[in-house]
Structure 1
Amino acid sequence: MKRLVLLSVMLLIAGGILANLPNLEEGTALKVSGKVIDQATSLPLAFANIIYNHTGTTTNLEGEFVFQINYHKAENSLLIKFIGYETAAIALDTDNTNLFVTLTPKVEMLEEVVVVTAEQVLMDVNNYHQINYEYSDQLLSSYYKETLTTDKDCIYLAEGIFDIYYPTVYSKEKPTIHARKTRKKTFASLDTMFMPLIHGHATDMINGVTRRTDSFVKEEKLDHYTYTKEGLTWYDGREVFQIHFEPKSKKADCRGMIFIDSESKAIIRTEYEPLLHGQNFWKKVKWVEEYKEVNSSWYIHRVSYLGEWDQHGQTVSFEALLVVTDFETITTKPELTESLTKDDIFFHQASSFSENFWEDFNYIKLDVKEKKALGF
C-alpha cells in the first residue's frame, strides 16, 4: 500500500529533496497524486502549478492533483510552484507517489535596488518578447473542463482531452483543436437556463495575451491604460513585479493585474476583467492566464474563464479551465482528424465519471460540488 508522506516545512524549500536519487529506469511511468496546502493557514491552494520537465498540471479547488509522468534521469524533482510561496522540490520515488505538500509563504520584504516605473516594465516586456515566448509551431496536449453552477448546485459538467496545433505567431495558420476523449453530464433541465457561452471547446482560450495583436500589453496599446506598480512578490525563487492596470482612454477594454518576472521580463500571470459597459447581462467576467518556463522560454500553462449573471434571483456561473499538460515543438502541421469548428458541441454524454475513464491521460480531479452532484 502506498504510504502517505507528510513533508515538513523545513524540507520543502526550493531545490530541496526528500531522499537520495532513486533507482528508477529512464522512461519509467509514475502516477503521482496529492494535496497542496498553505503552511500558514492550512487551507488548500487551488491552481498551484505542478511541473516536471516540460509537462505540467494544476491543483483543483481543494488543492488536489493527479499527475502521470515518464521519469527522466536528468530531471529528478517534481516541482510545486505558486506565486508568493517557496517552490517545493520533491524527489521522485516509486514509494513517494501519494503526497501531502505544505507550501511556505515567502514573506521576506523586497526592496528595489534600481527604481523602474510600471511603464518601463511593460516596455521591457515588449522588447524581450521575441526571446521569451514560443516562436515555433507546437503540438499541445491539454485538459479542458467547463461547468455551469448556481450558488448551491452544479447544473452541467463537461470535460475533454485535446490535441491542439498551436502555430507560431509568425504563421497565418490558426490553432486547430482535436478532441481525443470527452464526457459530459447534465444534472438539471437546461430548457430554462440560458447558457450563452457553452460551445464545447477552447478556441477562445488558447490565444493568450502574449500572442493577441489587440492585447493590453502590446506596445501600441500601452497609452490606453494607466499602469501602477503594486510592489514585488516571488515566484520560483525570483522577484516578480505586480502591476495593476486601469483604462485611461475609450480604446481600453479591460482592467486587472499583471505579474512580470523581473529577471527575464516575461509575463508569468495575468488576471483581467473585460469592461462590461453597454450591456445588462453579465454581472462579472474574469480571465486568468499562467505561463511556465522551460529552457528559458515561457509557454502557456493554464487559462481559466469565469462569467456570472443573475437569473431568477440567483447567481449563475459559467467556468472554463484549460491546462496544457505537455507539448512538443513540431516542424510540420499535424493531420488532426475530427478538428473542431467554433460552433461545435462535441462532448459525449457519460454514464460513469470514474477516474479510470481517463486511463493514461492527465486530468484535473473533480471538486466537492461536482462530486456531490455526481453522488460521490
Structure 2
Amino acid sequence: MKPILIALAFLALTPTYSTDAAYIIKGIVKDNETGEAIPFAHVLVGDVINVSNIDGEFVISAADFNKQNVNLKVSYIGYENYSTSISNLDKYHTVFLKPSVTQLMDVEVFSGPSIMMEVFGRFHLNYEMERQHMVGYYQESMSDWEKTYYVAEGIMDIYSPSNLDKNSYPMVSPLRTRKKVFEKIEAIDEVLGGNASDMAHSSIWRKKSFLSAKNRKNYEFFYAGATSIGEHDVLIVEFEPGNNKGNTTGKLYIDEETFALIKIEYDPIISDFSFWESVSWTEEYEQKDGIFNLVSVLFEGTSTNHTYNYHALLVINESTVIEEIPSDVSMMDVNDSFFEMAKEDFTDSFWTGFNFMKLDNNVTQLLHADSSQY
C-alpha cells in the first residue's frame, strides 16, 4: 500500500457482533423523480448503519433486530429523510427519496471564513474524542478502462485511540476477508494490502490534514451555496490553497445548526509522485447521541499512465466508546496485507453476522462468469 500511504502524506462497553444474526433487510434506494439509483445513501436500523452500493442496493443486518418493530431510515444529502416501519423482513424494499427544495442563502449573511470559524471552534463539541471500538466493512478493487483485475473485501475490527492520546493512529485487525483476482498484474502485490487503518483516521483529527490547526491557515474558504439533508440546512464551502504550503482543494458540507462537517470531498494536489496522476477522497459523518461519527471513507486514484483505476471504501457499521484499548488484541501493521489468508467464497452467507456492501452488478457478473474456479 505504499502508493496509498504516499498520497496520505498530503493529507464503557465494547460493541458485540454475533455470527448468528437473525435478520437481514435488503433493498434499493432510488430518486423519486428520475428513478435513478442513489449510491452511498445512509441506511440505518437502530445504531447499525450501512450505505448503498454504486447500484443503489443495500443490505443491513443486526443480531438484535426486533422482528415486530424494525424502523428503517434512509438519508442522503439533497433529499428528504425516509423512515418506515417494516413488518416483512423478507421483502425486497424499494426506497424512493424525494429531492428537497433548498433556498440559496444570502452570500452577505454567510461567508467562507465566518462559517469555518464556527466549524473549527466546535470541533471538540461535535466529534468523538474518546477511545472507540468500531466494526467496519472494507472493500478495494483495481481496474482499467476495460476490465477489473481484482476485488477484495474484509470485515475490520478497529480500535481508535483518543484524539488526546500521543499515539492517535487507529489499529485494525481483519475478522473475515475474501478476494478474487481476475487477472494478475504486478501492481496487485504493491497495492493489495488494505489501507483501512489510514481511512479510519478522520481528516478532522489527522495532524497533517488541511483541517488541522497548523495547516488550515494555508487555505482560502468560499461560501458556495446550500443544500439539505432531511430537514436540516447544509452550507457548502469550497476551499483551495491560499499559499504555496496548501496542497489540497475540495468542498465541505456543513450542518447549519451545529456547524458540524457532515461530508468532506477533497483532492490532494499531485505534483511530485510517480504512481498517482490524481486521487480523491470523500468522508461522511452521521450524528449519534449529539456526536458526529465517521461513517464512510471513499478513496479513488488514477495511475500516472491512466492505466489503472483504484477504489477503496471503508464503512463504519458500529462504534462504541471504550475506556481502554485491549492490550491482548493482535493488530496489524499499516503495511501488512489484509488478504494473505483471504477466502474465495463469494456467497452472502460468508458474511453471516456482519454488515457488508452488496457487490455491484459488474463485479457480480464477473464472479458468475468465473464461478467454476471456486
Q: Which range, TM-score by smaller chain?
A: 0.7 to 0.9
Secondary structure of 1:375's counterpart equals helix
- Provide the rounded CA distance (Å) in 1 between the counterparts of 2:328 and 2:177: 16
Q: Does 1:42 align with 2:35?
A: yes
Higher relative contact order (Cα pairs below 8 Å, separated by 6+ residues)? 2
2:246 matched residue in structure 1: 252
Tell whether 2:201 aligns with 1:207: yes
SS across alignment from 1:203: helix
**Gaps (5+ residues) in structure 2?**
1-20, 370-374
- Asked if residue 322 in structure 1 is aligned to residue 314 in structure 2, the reply is yes
Residues 232-243 of structure 1: matches in 2 within 5 Å?
A: 232-243=226-237
SS of the aligned residue for 1:228 comes to strand
Code of the residue aligned with 1:319 in structure 2: it is H
- The question of whether the paired residues in 2 share the 8 Å contact of 1:153 and 1:373 is answered with no
SS for the counterpart of 1:204 is helix
Task: Quote how far apart the aligned CAs of 1:29 are.
Answer: 4.2
Residues in 2 aligned to 1:185 and 1:139: alpha-carbon distance in whole angstroms = 29
Q: Is 1:175–2:175 an aligned residue pair?
A: no
Choose from 172, 180, 185 the match for 1:185.
180
- Find the counterpart in structure 2 of residue 144 from structure 1: 138
Query: Structure 1: how far apart are the matches of 2:171 and 2:274?
Result: 33
Aligned to 2:18: none
Aligned to 1:102: 96
Taking a change above 3 Å as real, the CA distance of residues 163 and 279 of structure 1, as seen in their structure-2 partners, is: closer
Query: Structure 1 residues 366-375 or 345-354, which shifts more?
Result: 345-354
Give CA-to-partner distance per residue, 1:220-258, whole Å, 9 cap, x none. 433311211110110131011111111111111110100
Equivalent residue for 1:290, pick from 284, 287, 293? 284
Question: Do structure 1's residue 90 and structure 2's residue 81 form an aligned pair?
Answer: no
Q: What number of residue pairs does the alignment pair up?
A: 347
Q: TM-score, normalised by structure 2?
A: 0.87
| Aligned residue number for residue 272 of structure 1 | 266
1:31–1:250 CA distance, 2 compared to 1 (3 A): same
Residue 280 of structure 1: CA displacement?
4.8
Cα deviation digits, residues 279-314 of structure 1 (max 9, x gap)? 354222000000010011000000010011254xx6
**CA distance in 2: counterparts of 1:145 and 1:328, whole angstroms:** 22
SS at match of 1:315: coil
- Residue in 1 that maps onto 2:47: 54
Cα distance in 2, alignment partners of residues 185 and 122 from structure 1: 44
User: CA–CA distance in 2 between the matches of 1:94 and 1:220?
Assistant: 52
Which one-letter code corresponds to 1:318 in the other structure? Y
Deviation, 1:83, is 0.4
1:53 deviates by 2.8
User: Is 2:365 the partner of 1:372?
Assistant: yes
DSSP 3-state at the match of 1:229: strand
Q: Which has the higher helix share?
A: 2
Q: CA deviation at 1:214?
A: 2.5
Counterpart code for 2:297: V
Alignment of 1:16-27 (within 5 A): none
User: Unaligned 5+ residue runs, structure 1?
Assistant: 1-27
Distance 1:106 1:227, change over 3 A: same
Please provide the CA RMSD for this pair: 2.3
**2:9 maps to what in 1?**
none
Identical aligned pairs, as a percentage?
A: 30
- Please say if residues 24 and 89 of structure 2, whose CA atoms lie closer than 8 Å, have aligned partners that are also in contact: no
